[in-house]
Amino acid sequence: MIEYKQVIVVRTDLEMSKGKLAVQVAHASVIAAFKAYHERREWFNAWWSSGQKKIVLRGKNMDELLKLARKAENKGLPVAIVRDAGLTELEPGTLTTIAIGPGPSSKIDEITGALKLL
C-alpha cells in the first residue's frame, strides 16, 4: 500500500514568533493541498482518506527552500511557496515556508529525507 503525506519546510534563519510560524505553515499546507486537489486528485484523495499526514521540517534559508521546491516540481509533486504579505513581523515578499505534497511519501522523502524535524 502506498503511503501519502505532506511536508512543510520552514526557514530557520528568520526570527518568526510561534504564532507567525504557525500561520505560515498553515498557509503552505492549504495552498499545496488545493494544488493537489486540482492537479493530482488521486493523491489528494488518498492523503485525505488516510488522515492528512503532515510533517514540519527545518530549512536553513531561502535558497535551500527554493532548491527543494524546484526538485519537487521536477518530480511532479504539488508545491506551494509562501511569501509573507509584510503586515506584521516580516518584510513584504519574504519567503517563509514551502509545502510539498500531498503525494507519495517515498517521492517526498527523496527530496526532504535528510532534513530535521522542526
Distance CA 48, CA 94 (A): 30
Where does residue 52 rank: exposed (0-12), middle (13-18), buried (19+ CB within 10 A)?
Answer: middle
pLDDT tens for 100-114 read 999 999 999 999 999
Q: What is the pLDDT of residue 56?
A: 98
In a domain, 92, yes or no: yes
In a domain, 47, yes or no: yes
Residue with cell 486540482: 38
In a domain, 117, yes or no: no
In a domain, 67, yes or no: yes
| Total number of domains in the chain | 1
Q: What is the pLDDT of residue 80?
A: 98
Q: Specify the CATH number for the domain of residue 78.
A: 3.40.1490.10
pLDDT tens for 14-63 read 989 999 999 999 999 999 999 999 999 999 999 999 999 999 999 999 99
Cell of 54: 503532515
State the residue range of the domain holding 25: 4-112
